[in-house]
Amino acid sequence: MTHAAISDGATDALNDWLTTIKALNNAADNTIEAYRTDLLGYLAFITNHFGDATGLAPLKQVKVTDMRAWMAHERGRGVSARSLARALSAVKSFYRWLSERDGFDPTVVLSARSPRFQKKLPRPLALDAARAMIDTVELQTVKPWAGTRDVAVITLLYGCGLRISEALSLTGADAPLPDVLRITGKGNKTRIVPVIEPARAAVDRYIRTCPHQITPDSPLFRAVRGGPLRPRAIQKAMEATRMQLGLPATATPHALRHSFATHLLGAGGDLRAIQELLGHASLSTTQAYTAVDAARLMEVYDKTHPRA
């Protein structure tokens, strides 16, 4: 999309806001770029809509009809309801900050209704598929030690519910793995995660076979040439494994975290405890797994009690 000539004032405000949220929320670069793209689209529309690219005045004069016109424009050019809801959330966040800075009433924008959309459920692996992934992933590399490394990483993702970035941020100082790990996740939030025995054993096996020296200051998981292991290496190993096992494209590293939560819940785990283990800020995020569990229950029911 080609953006209209946005005023210097609006551009400066956008850049100041992005700098602020990056500093306050420790937002990832990809998140910042997504916010930038969403806001540039909105600012370009408002600039064209008001026919005035000077200053911030148009932003402060937005009415309900203008917000509806923007959302209709976005839908008209093929933006999905989910993507529009994300863009509106970014616009509201920007307006909260701008209204506090410049002292105007942002109610019109903040009260705009988000489009409804069907939330995607997490896509976990079945229990036997998760086990098969762990058993098979080390066969995807010609270097045996790298295979033990991949098993260790994947066992951590599934056995401890870690994000791949969290597993790869571990250092030599974390080894041998203790009974519990202190993990710093999204938004710099720290949580305590129990480490299951198979995960500790998998990491110990990897350390014994790794040809690179692992020091307290070095990354725990190393690439073939000795540098820090990148997420793409694990993604590629899982891609090869899922093709070998005939698993769907949804069998990704993050799906192992979903599997951890879903299988815990299915075994009678407490939702609040799972929220703490995953590091979710809101219980509503964790509650998505109850829907997954219910969906799987109905799937089993339909197979065992087919309708006539």
Q: How far is Cα 102 from Cα 14, in angstroms, rounded to an integer?
A: 13
Place of tokens 């089993």: 300
Q: How far is Cα 177 from Cα 54, in angstroms, rounded to an integer?
A: 58
Q: Which helix (H) or strand (E) holds 208?
A: helix 197-209
Query: What are the φ and ψ backbone dihedral angles of 192, each rounded to 5 degrees?
Result: -100, 125
HSE-CB of 24 using CA atoms within 13 angstroms? 7
Q: How far is Cα 127 from Cα 292, in angstroms, rounded to an integer?
A: 14
255: helix, coil or strand?
Answer: helix
Q: How far is Cα 266 from Cα 307, in angstroms, rounded to an integer?
A: 25
Backbone dihedral region for residue 188 (phi beyond 0: left; psi -120 to 50: alpha; all else: beta): left
What's the token pair of residue 12? 């400066």
Q: How far is Cα 176 from Cα 188, in angstroms, rounded to an integer?
A: 24
Please enumerate in sequence order all residues whose Cβ is within 8 A of that of 53, keeping only pairs 6 or more positions apart, or say none: 4, 5, 6, 7, 47
Active-site annotation, residues: 163, 186, 254, 257, 280, 289
Give the gyration radius of the chain's Cα atoms. 24
